[in-house]
Amino acid sequence: MFHIRVLIFRSIRDLTTNMSANKNNLKRQMKSTISAGGKQPKLTGEKGKESGWLLKEVAELRRAAQGCEFNKKRLRYLSDTQKVKQSSQGVLYWMSRDQRIQDNWALIYSQQLALAEKLPLHICFCLVPKFLDATYRQYAFMLKGLQEVVKECKSLDIEFHLLSGEPVHNLPAFVKSWNIGAVVTDFNPLRISLQWIDTVKKHLPSDIPFIQVDAHNVVPCWEASTKLEYGARTIRGKITKHLQEFLTDMPLVDTHPYCASRAAKIIDWEEVLSSLEVDHNVCEVEWAQPGTTGGMFMLESFIDQRLHIFATHRNNPNSDAVSHLSPWIHAASAAFRRKDAWLSAHVLGKEDSGVDCISRRSLVYRYISE
């Protein structure tokens, strides 16, 4: 996200003056890690910075970005209908890949659409009891992150609905039951997700617009390239030429002024976890706190402690130089990848820069898989 990218860029400037001190801290962390049997060390912020500084500064920057215009190139209509159904009672965001409230272009657009039509805003998530080879560890991390989403929805007067089962069996019925006037969803290139989109589209009423927003990528996938890409060399230029247009501030998802006529069903999370048809032998990890807040704290520790040595030590298993952000990136509970795009555009040519290094890997190479 744009705000995090700016803060990282500022932090790197400060880090260069404290390189030797951070290296000594890294050595002490490595020793404590070995003595603790390989467990993740407790992460503490850089000296002079209060823990939680990233969350506070990002919140301020989001508020400052209120009123930012939404670029319509981020969306595409999956239905022939493009106007919100008249006499409807809400706009629905079908949350799937991007499981967060803030810095989510799909939800930002959903709220703007609901505000324009003076309608309540709903979010739903379709939970299937089994997904590919995911185990209890992945499901528990995702569901506990969704619990944080639910709490934030309550504070914003947005109704969150957890639907059990395949989307095609639940979503169209939900749309009819709640008299939804428009459905917005995020983008996922996986085959099973594309099948979900296709089947739901066929079963939605023809007078309801079905809109897809790429909330995962800096440059929308359909704008970056129209064909299958096979290498970083061929797609790098296509991405960078669009960065100026799409690297914009992301406004705050604020309290919604139009409330639904009825409340969403209360979710029994213990029952949901026990109903999963997955391998329960793979337990949760202690070092990764689920949800956006946990991801932001991990990102903060990466900026303060490890980013300056990422380029040179990332492949050394004896150095704690990596970001540890994979769980949150996988669950998309925080939009970390946007920081890399902005930094790659501002630190070009610095081959030894940790920022440039991580930007290339998480921006350019990632688009090939999209």
- Residue 105's φ and ψ, nearest 5 degrees, are -60, -30
Q: From residue 139, give the alpha-carbon distance in Å to each of 132, 273, 341.
A: 11, 8, 29
Task: Report pLDDT digits (tens) over 356-366.
Answer: 666 666 666 66
Residues of the chain with pLDDT > 90, as a percent, come to: 56
112 pLDDT band, cuts 50/70/90, is: very high
Q: Average pLDDT, stretch 184-199?
A: 95
* Average pLDDT for the chain: 83
Say how many residues make up the chain. 370
Task: Report pLDDT digits (tens) over 253-267.
Answer: 999 999 999 999 999
Q: From residue 84, give the alpha-carbon distance in Å to each of 92, 252, 275, 318.
A: 11, 23, 36, 56
Q: Average pLDDT, stretch 125-144?
A: 95
Q: From residue 293, give the alpha-carbon distance in Å to each of 133, 147, 231, 304.
A: 27, 12, 34, 17
- Tell me, what's the pLDDT at 335? 64
Task: Report pLDDT digits (tens) over 151-169.
Answer: 999 999 999 999 999 999 9
In whole angstroms, give the CA distance from residue 203 to residue 201.
6
Q: Average pLDDT, stretch 159-181?
A: 97
Task: Report pLDDT digits (tens) over 217-269.
Answer: 888 999 988 888 777 788 888 888 888 898 888 899 999 999 999 999 999 99
Structural domains of the chain ordered from first start: 2-50+284-369 (1.25.40), 64-274 (3.40.50.620)
The answer to whether 195 touches 324, Cβ cutoff 8 Å, is no
Q: Average pLDDT, stretch 60-80?
A: 90
Question: Of 292 and 345, which is predicted with more confidence?
Answer: 292
In whole angstroms, give the CA distance from residue 117 to residue 314.
49
Given a cut of 60, is residue 19 above it in pLDDT? no
Lowest mean per-residue pLDDT among 13-17, 47-51, 81-85: 13-17
Given a cut of 90, is residue 5 above it in pLDDT? no
At 124, the amino acid letter reads C
Decide: helix, strand or coil at residue 325: coil
